[in-house]
A and B are shown apart, each in its own frame.
Chain A
Amino acid sequence: MTALSVSALIARVDRAEVLRYMGAAAQCDDTLSTLVEEALAELEKVAVPRMVWRRVEVTTQLDGIGLGPVTAPGADLARHLAGCREAVLFAATLGIGVDQLIRRVALLSMSQSAALQAGAAALLETYCDWCQEELAQEPGAAHQRSRFSPGYGDLPLSFQGPLLHCLESHRIGLTTTAAMMMVPTKSVSAIIGLGEEQGEKRPCGRGCAFCSKTDCAFRKVE
């Protein structure tokens, strides 16, 4: 894989997305855009994006769906991967420096801290998207399903353990707490199906209308 500098990633970050994560709606005055740009500049200094991935065979198992050495329970991931013979187990993180930065800034300014939270979330998404673009260069990996993470649908968060263990994610500094929260917090773990064609777009497989979180700011009315 080629490497992309953090500053190049920052340049790619969709500013509107950062504002949306901040709860800023569409409006953006100078003060706000300065806040966002300053946050991204701070993140550029401390973020060290790292990723790890592993290609595995998808098999049907009695108690779930087999992904190489591990078996993921539940039906939603199986539905999401329908038609995929292979999948990529994937994890990425921005590094612990981002957590430290956010905690430091939160002591002095909630607005800057919120901008950093939002900026880091958008940066992580940008990085994961870039990783998937790179992955697409691999033979047979051109068509990828969207990232499906532990905690989506009926795939329990506890699957984080076997998934990260299998990826040896500690090599990129990605660990979990006893309650299976990822540390650093700006991290992603996911399963990406490799299929013949584009499959189901929504990772939850059902869409917002079926979701129980009715007051979600990101809920899409269809």
Chain B
Amino acid sequence: MKQLMSQLGKRILFFDGAMGTLLQREGLAPGQAPESWNLTHPDTIRAIHRDYLRAGCDIVKANTFGGNPLKLAEAGLCPAEVVTAGVRLAREAVEVEGHGWVALDMGPTGRLLQPMGDLSFDEAVEAYAQMVRDGVAAGADCCLIETMSDTLETKAAVLAAKENCDLPVFVTLTFDQRGRLLTGADIPAAVAMLEGLGVDALGLNCGFGPEQMLPLVEELTRWASVPLIVNPNAGLPVVVDGTTCYQVEPEEFASWMEQLIARGVWMAGGCCGTTPAHLAALTARCREMKPLALPDNRRTVVSSGAMAVVMGEDPVVIGERINPTGKSRLKQALREGNLDYILSEGVKQQQNGAHILDVNVGLPEIDEPAMMEQVVRELQGVVPLPLQIDTSSPAAMEAALRRYNGKAMINSVNGRAESMDAILPLAKKYGGVVVALTMDEKGIPETADGRVAIARRILDRALALGLRKEDLVVDALTMTVSAEQESARVTLETVRRIKAELGLRTVLGVSNISFGLPRRELLGSSFFLLALEAGLDAAIINPGSAAMMDALAAYRALSGLDTQCGGYIARCAAQAEAQAAAPVQAAQPVRTAATAAPDAPSLGELAAAVEQGRKEDAARLAAEELKALPPLELIDRQLIPALDRVGKGFEQGRVFLPQLLMSADAARAAFEVVQEVLSRSGGRRQGGKVVLATVQGDIHDIGKNIVKVLLENYGFQVLDLGRDVPPERVVETVLAEDVKLVGLSALMTTTVPAMAETIRQLRQAAPDCRVMVGGAVMTPEYAAQIGADHYGPDAMSSVHYAQELLG
């Protein structure tokens, strides 16, 4: 029998149609696992495969779609048994009919991966790997990963397939009609990731019929460079009497499929609602069609689980702020494992207009691979932008790339042999756009000639390893102009020549240029403009720098990239509006009726801003006052009294939760400013430590987060363990950090036992540690029953308890 891959592209290959639809007709009960029939009704399964083969199908999907261990656990079936039987039955049908190939069919796990869900990436890979090993042993010819609606889960399945067999790997995704997956990715993002992982073909299945797939297939032909697959349903699902039906008839199905194939699809079949009759009509109509040549869609694309960023069309801003070099506050956050601070730096950069975020967590005293993996995962839960993994540790690079949702930027490789040996194979395996630094073991060449030569060497090596030219972006290296007079010119010349001579994309870290000189932003933004004019495709800068972003906006307007200067005008308008909104200095401190008790003395302006929840003002005023007042005095004289007054108002029912939170936000903004100053001098507020956690099984965390912000405002050092936290982790942290107060939150009655268990373990391991509890289902009686020391009906109550206990 001919090899499957040798036929791909020579003729149209046909997948089979639905299995579940036919099994339901044969009596499969709704809710029953179709895979169970591999064991109970083998003849029926085999007969269906044979019907499809006789209808002219080339590839039959083994009845293993839901056969992953995570999914079968619900049904009480043995995955190995079910998968092995499923592949064997398909194999037997192929042998009897004398033609065809067997696809090991793998669908979703039914669980959502971290950080949005609770399934870890490694568990997902292992679940699929088990299927692959069993399926291959039973005689599969290829792996079909289908009906996927989450890029990260798809990546887990592809890696499992590639790491456990040499068979072709095909992937089909289920988009909605807007062209988005349920977890948010669009077609360019999904294609970038899958091609980066090296799948052999990709496409669409399920969701709707061939007619609705037409625009999506057209979009795919604009982005994909590998063969395309379509396995649509027999039309849109229609609910009749509460049951889902598919109503497109075989001939109509086939005629739509003909149009899809005419647009460049190489492999075609069916999904829900299709039958051997549909497939017979399809193969009869389209068998003689010739596959179109593959389109050349090779662009430089990085992606996340939500979006793709293309380089080479419009300058790309890579945010540089998540990097501890020279940032004492970030160093402190990394040492303390304060993830929220790091994540908020990411969110701010997105708001300031970054397209990609650089992530560097390298500090000598931390476990970099573990920290990188954690930061990348959690950052992807809150920011839709693609990330640039920035580390000199190959272990940290691999830990992050493996679990990264999408196709990342890889920062970086250089001309040293060891660097290329370590980094380029990672790019080949996991996909990625690699930043190539024009330096090697001899250092950074002083001439453009030297730098171009290194870029060429890295390119040759990358191509030899099977990487695509588009997946290399060269960093011509910015040197400090005050140290080397000629360096700026050399860098710019290198950018020009890399583009002209090698046809590669370029990137620069821009900020370095002005080191040691006055008015750094002036030099930086001017150099940025020159580099853009030299053809720079991406710049690693601080998107919070107005001067840099202004330069970019001006460049885009002047170079014809900004249609009717719309972006430029909008940016200027927003700036004008922000200026107008900045309040005039109030001569008298304002006192609001809602917050201040009638006899309360008026505090300063900063305190008023906090009381009224004016966040921007609070930060600005704090910065001003710090010029005259020492940080700790500012806290004691202004911020804490303001918080106390709002808190009191809240307890007396004059202030409601939203105002309390707005005040807390304003105070937090002021504390951030104070903390900057304190970090620079190595100091910090010396509040007691409090561990906070939403208990195991519970994923609701708003209550815990409110308590956290208030405690932090009052100077407590909060160790936030997050949500769904196992009792053991709470205990470990309490012991390791010598913590005397733990706050636990639970929202559901079903998670109260987890709270009780956490308290029980704490009592055993750390008898002198106090426990306060809260959450929607908590009552004072419940709290007493499970042995808590304190019940907090609201967030202020936990502050008082902490003050009482820890001072």
Contacts and interface: CB of A to CB of B under 8 A. Distances in A.
A associates with B = yes
A64 interface: no
Interface in A89-117: 95-97, 99-100, 103-104, 106-115, 117
Contact of B750 (A107, A111, A165, A180): A180
Specify which of A23, A55, A107, A108 lies most central, judged by the most chain B CB atoms within 10 Å of its CB: A107
A158 B724 CA distance: 17
Nearest to B181: A173
B605 interface: no
Nearest to A117: B702
A175 B31 contact: no
Contacts of A185: 699-700
A103 B779 CA distance: 27
Nearest to B708: A110
Contacts of B340: 107
A220 interface: no
B42 interface: no
B658 interface: yes
26 contacts: A22-B657, A23-B656, A31-B613, A48-B176, A54-B242, A54-B243, A56-B242, A69-B29, A95-B182, A104-B347, A107-B344, A108-B344, A108-B348, A110-B709, A111-B665, A114-B661, A115-B658, A151-B750, A172-B182, A177-B697, A178-B118, A180-B750, A181-B697, A183-B112, A184-B116, A185-B700
Interface of A: 1, 19, 22-25, 27, 29, 31-32, 35, 48, 53-56, 68-70, 88, 95-97, 99-100, 103-104, 106-115, 117, 151, 156-157, 161-162, 165-166, 170, 172-173, 175-181, 183-185, 212-215
B343 interface: yes
Contacts of A110: 661, 664-665, 668, 705-706, 709
Specify which of A31, A165, A181, A185 lies most central, judged by the most chain B CB atoms within 10 Å of its CB: A181
A173 B149 CA distance: 8
Nearest to A167: B31
Contacts of B777: 213
A183 to B, nearest CB: 5
B362 interface: no
Contacts of A161: 74
Nearest to B791: A215
B384 interface: yes
**CB-CB nearest 10 A-B residue pairs:** A55-B242, A179-B697, A173-B182, A23-B657, A111-B661, A177-B118, A107-B344, A104-B382, A69-B31, A111-B662
Contacts of A103: 381-382
Contact of A106 (B239, B348, B705, B776): B705
A100 B30 contact: no
A103 B702 CA distance: 9
A213 B698 contact: no
Contacts of A117: 702
A40 B552 CA distance: 32
A181 B705 contact: no
Nearest to B592: A29
A100 B664 contact: no
B702 A113 contact: yes
A76 to B, nearest CB: 14
A69 B699 contact: no
Contacts of B699: 177, 181, 183, 185
Contacts of A54: 242-243
Contacts of A180: 750
A165 B117 contact: no
B210 to A, nearest CB: 19
Contact of A179 (B110, B615, B709, B751): B751
Contacts of B793: 215
Given A111-B665, A114-B661, A165 B705 contact: no
B657 A177 contact: no
Contacts of B749: 151, 157
B750 A175 contact: no
A114 B182 contact: no
Nearest to B340: A107
Contacts of A70: 31
B775 to A, nearest CB: 11
Interface of B: 29-32, 74, 108, 110-112, 116-118, 149, 176, 180, 182-184, 239, 241-243, 340, 343-344, 347-348, 381-384, 594, 613, 615, 656-659, 661-662, 664-665, 668, 696-700, 702, 705-706, 709, 724, 748-751, 776-777, 779-781, 793
B184 A97 contact: yes
A156 B750 CA distance: 9
A104 B613 CA distance: 20
Contacts of A99: 116
Specify which of B658, B702, B750 lies most central, judged by the most chain A CB atoms within 10 Å of its CB: B658
B613 A113 contact: no
Given A107-B344, A111-B658, A175 B74 contact: no
Contacts of B700: 181, 185
B380 to A, nearest CB: 9
Contact of A113 (B31, B348, B705): B705
A65 B498 CA distance: 72
A183 B31 contact: no
A179 B724 contact: yes
Given A23-B656, A56-B242, A111-B662, 14 more contacts: A22-B656, A22-B658, A23-B657, A29-B594, A35-B662, A97-B184, A110-B668, A151-B750, A162-B31, A178-B118, A181-B699, A185-B699, A213-B777, A215-B793
A32 B658 CA distance: 7
B30 A69 contact: yes
A166 B243 CA distance: 12
A170 B658 contact: no
Given A110-B705, A170-B108, A24 B658 contact: yes
A107 B346 CA distance: 10
A110 B795 CA distance: 12
Nearest to B709: A110
Contact of B382 (A32, A35, A95, A107): A107
Contacts of B348: 108
A100 B382 contact: yes
B646 to A, nearest CB: 12
A35 to B, nearest CB: 7
Contacts of A157: 748-750
Specify which of B108, B242, B243 lies most central, judged by the most chain A CB atoms within 10 Å of its CB: B242
A166 B29 CA distance: 10
B301 to A, nearest CB: 22
B31 A166 contact: yes
A177 B117 contact: yes
A1 B615 CA distance: 45
B752 to A, nearest CB: 12
Contacts of A183: 112, 116-118, 699
Contacts of A69: 29-32
A1 to B, nearest CB: 8
Contacts of B29: 69
B702 A114 contact: yes
A24 B698 CA distance: 25
Nearest to B782: A212
A170 B750 contact: no
A156 B594 CA distance: 43
Contacts of A111: 613, 658, 661-662, 664-665
Contacts of A176: 111
A215 B779 contact: yes
A149 B699 CA distance: 18
Contacts of B176: 48
A99 B183 CA distance: 11
A166 B724 CA distance: 26
A31 B595 CA distance: 14
Given A23-B657, A96-B184, A103-B382, A109 B665 contact: yes
